[in-house]
Amino acid sequence: MSTEQPSSVRDLMALWPSLSAFAADTAAGYEAVRQWFKRQSIPVRYWPAVIEGAAQREIGGVTSDLLMKLHAPVPDLRVASGEAA
């Protein structure tokens, strides 16, 4: 069982043996999954399948909370501090 806490969507998807395996677990096409990997974004409607697939593969810690965290926008701290031009 994996105990790694992924820090990105790519890290999460890399816990599967391959993108093909991820596609099979989510019932999505390989090309769609490849685009998710590239964009670092999994459509919300596939999250239940991701969670179930992770459980079936004994990949621990994959929850809706984790998926929300991985998809949360990263604030530009330069804007908050007035450094962005």
In tens, the pLDDT along 49-65 reads: 999 999 999 999 999 99
| Percent of the chain whose predicted confidence (pLDDT) is above 90 | 79
Is 25:16 a contact under the CB 8 Å cutoff? Answer: yes
Q: What is the mean pLDDT of residues 8-35?
A: 98
Q: Which residues contact 13 (CB under 8 A, 6 or more apart)?
A: 19, 22, 33, 36, 37, 42
Rounded CA separation 56/76 (Å)? 37
Confidence grade of residue 5 (pLDDT, cut at 50, 70, 90): confident
Tokens, residue 27: 């019932």
Reduced to 3 states, what is the DSSP secondary structure of residue 17?
Answer: coil
Domain extents in the chain: 9-72
| Per-residue model confidence (pLDDT) at position 75 | 74
Rounded CA separation 44/24 (Å)? 17
